[in-house]
Structures are given as structure tokens and as C-alpha cells.
Amino acid sequence: MAAEQDPEERAAARPLLTDLYQVTMALGYWRAGRARDPAEFELFFRHCPFGGAFALAAGLRDCVRFLRTFRLRDADVQFLASVLPPDTDPAFFEHLRALDCSGVTVRALPEGSLAFPGVPLLQVSGPLLVVQLLETPLLCLVGYASLISTNAARLSPDCGARETAAGDGAAARSRAWNGGLTAFTYSYLGG
């Protein structure tokens, strides 16, 4: 019988929502003995979406859930072992199995607040290897949510909050890892 999964973990994005580049960089840091070096990155945008003057910061709730449940399962580690070079030291995979975000600090704009180009929506600091693996998932979680919220904020004066929050039901076309649920949630936030 399969182990019961925590409902919060079931609702969270998974650590493999990333690019192979991030994993190979993490391997490089581990090989160089730099896995635990302090590191920081800022997540920001250069231009406002839709030709507007602002964006809405969104996705923080999903980021917190992701960080709280961040663990590489055995199946995740086995998959990584299948795509990394065959001579990768097995100790690297043991290191991955032990990873969590207990040493990570996140500073963020409040959910739903106005955001402007060049101003960080998130600042993430912690051990280099972990922070490297967080970059793509956090970018996905914040980027899509902020885009949807911003679009809803721009549309709601024209079409009314009820219609904006309802969305168009296009869960199958959603760019989010969990389909239309993210679009509906963040449309409501923005509109």
C-alpha cells in the first residue's frame, strides 16, 4: 500500500519542475565543494506585461508551499541519475535525497501588491546548491501567477470582477503546472 501523501505536498509543485541546466549547475557546485556556500538571487522583471505601467506580485502562497514541501523523492533522484553523466558520484544523489529548504530565506513583495520593473518580487538566499535548484520553480510559480493577476487587474474595469475571476475555463491551455486552478485563483486576486 502506498504511503499517504500530505495534502499540502500533493498541492505543491515538485522540485523537478526545473531545467536540466539547474541540476547540472548544482552538480558542478557539489563537485567543486561549493554546495553549502552562501548564495542569493533576485526574481524580477524588466518590462511590465501587456504594455502596462505595473504588474501585480502574485504566487507567494504557492512559493511558500513549494519551499515547505521541497524534497526530492527516490523516484526523482532515480530520474536524475538516469539523465546525468554515468560517472556521477553516488554521494551526490545521497546529498540530493537529504536536501530541504530549512536554510533558505525568502523576502517577497506582499501578495497582490504593485510591482515595477527592476524591483525584486522575491529575494532568495541560502546554500548555493539548494538556491540553484529553486530558481526555475520559483520563477514559474511567480511568473505565471503575476501575469494572470496583472491581466485580471487590467481587464476587471472593463468586464467586471465576476467575469474576470471566472476566467474562460481553459484549464487545458494553462501554462501553470497545475492547470486552470492557478489561473482562476490569480484572476480572482487581480480582478
Instruction: Please write the tens of the pLDDT for every residue from 26-68.
Output: 999 999 999 999 999 999 999 998 899 999 999 999 999 999 9
Rounded Cα gap, residues 191 and 166, in angstroms: 10
Choose the weakest-confidence range: 9-13, 39-43, 66-70, 187-191.
9-13
Q: What's the pTM value of the predicted model, to 2 decimals?
A: 0.82
Per-residue pLDDT, averaged over 133-138, amounts to: 96
State residue 14's pLDDT score: 85
CATH of 18-141, one of 1.10.1240.10, 3.40.190.10, 3.20.140.10, 3.40.50.300: 3.20.140.10
d(CA 7, CA 174): 22
Q: State which amino acid sits at residue 136.
A: T
- Residue 112: exposed, middle, or buried by beta-carbon count in 10 A (0-12, 13-18, 19+)? middle
In the chain, where the domains are located: 18-141
